[in-house]
Structure 1
Amino acid sequence: MTSTTPSDFLSRALDAPGEPPLRPLPPVVAELLRSLEAPPRLAAHLRAVHDVAVELADWVGDRYPDLAVDRDAVLFGAATHDVGKTLHPEELSGPGSAHEAAGRDLLLSHGFAPDLARFAANHANWDAPATTIEDLLVSTADKVWKDKRLPDLEDRLVRVLAAASGREPWEEYLALDDLLTRLGADADHRLAFQAAFPVYQ
């Protein structure tokens, strides 16, 4: 009988298909998480949020072709937004924001550019004047993966989308609401995938 090691749990969190299937994290992020011996539950969470971010970014790209969105930045941001919880694993099972600045600093120390590392620090703050469409998409993915809806966040995103399309905000709200409702329908599966992995290595 073989025993399961912490690295086995992390590998499964990064590589197991999930149900419904979850996309893998960007290779550079998966490599980082392995090098950090990240908590398996964190890796599972990042995969769930990243998977939703892919759907959001692709929907925006299709519906708003004239809106400049850095898709790669959105996906990196979603894949690393909570990376600071490798240093603050207690925040995987309880409240806390120490992981935000810690995550940004961790990414910077591993050579990632400030414009990518910022998502780890600001994913919970979408009210700043300099907030970009990329920031809004990462923040939205971090909520809707578990079917949480925040009207203030969605209203800000709708304003950006309406300005880009020239359509009425209510039209953009209805379209976004349809998407988020559809994404939220799989929340139980994503939550179950995350819960299948231990918090600590």
Structure 2
Amino acid sequence: MHSSRAADPLTAVTDPPLRPLPERAVALLRSLDAPPRLAAHLRLVHDVAYELADWTERRYPELSFDRAAVLFGAATHDIGKTAHTGELSGPGSAHEEAGRRLLLEHGVEPEWARFAATHAAWAEPGTGIEDLLVSLADKVWKDKRVRELEDLVVGRLAEVSGRPVWEEFLALDDLLDRLGADADRRLAFQAAHPVRPVRP
């Protein structure tokens, strides 16, 4: 995934191409002066979420889910790291609730702002398929596999399709293997962008 080190991660042309973020997400990230590495990360997770949403729509036409919410959620799930920049290069969860509050303060509807808080809380009761897809994208972009999360997704999909759980597991596993194969390129794209904004 090649791009110029100085290129804006929100618009950089890459090979293979990354899909553009939703315009509303781009405007928010620009208004908050999002660090380049955060912008790169959000673009990568959004791109994987797009693939997951496409696959889900094709394989489960009977499943009703809010695709636009999934894509916006993936594009903004870590927006709280604009306030907690230490969590860009180290562990921490302060960005989760901070991100949800930040989105609400900027007029984002609660049902779309929630992903900033739920992307790391996928095991909580009442978690929807949209939350699970955003959480899954946030793991598989770097080829991280989390069995408990994947089992939750498979369970929901098997309920909808009526097919056996093992069949849905194999289908999802195959997709995640394919998505994970590009992890090195994604990691390189993210690493090429600095944690702190570059000042002219």
Unaligned runs of 5+ residues in structure 2 are none
Instruction: Calculate percent identity across the aligned residue pairs.
Output: 69
Q: 1:128 offset after TM fit, Å?
A: 1.1
**TM alignment of 1:36-185, pairs within 5 A:** 36-185=32-181
- RMSD over aligned Cα atoms: 1.3
How far apart, in 1, do the equivalents of 2:59 and 2:111 lie? 25
Q: Which residue of 2 aligns with 1:3?
A: none
Closer, same or farther in 2 for the Cα pair 1:10/1:61, shift >3 Å? farther
8 Å CA contact retained: 1:10, 1:39 = no
**SS at 1:15's partner residue?**
coil
**Higher share of residues assigned helix:** 1
Q: 1:53 offset after TM fit, Å?
A: 0.1
How far apart, in 2, do the equivalents of 1:30 and 1:175 lie? 33
Q: 1:10 offset after TM fit, Å?
A: 8.4
Residues 1:14 and 2:17 aligned together = no
TM-score (norm 2): 0.95
Closer, same or farther in 2 for the Cα pair 1:9/1:115, shift >3 Å? farther
Closer, same or farther in 2 for the Cα pair 1:89/1:10, shift >3 Å? farther
How far apart, in 1, do the equivalents of 2:173 and 2:152 lie? 13
8 Å CA contact retained: 1:24, 1:47 = yes
In terms of mean alpha carbon deviation, does 114-123 or 10-19 score higher? Answer: 10-19
Closer, same or farther in 2 for the Cα pair 1:109/1:26, shift >3 Å? same
What is the total number of aligned residue pairs between the two structures? 194
State the one-letter code of the partner of 2:139. K
Q: 1:54 offset after TM fit, Å?
A: 0.2
Q: 1:86 offset after TM fit, Å?
A: 0.3
How far apart, in 2, do the equivalents of 1:137 and 1:161 lie? 11
How far apart, in 2, do the equivalents of 1:138 and 1:149 lie? 14
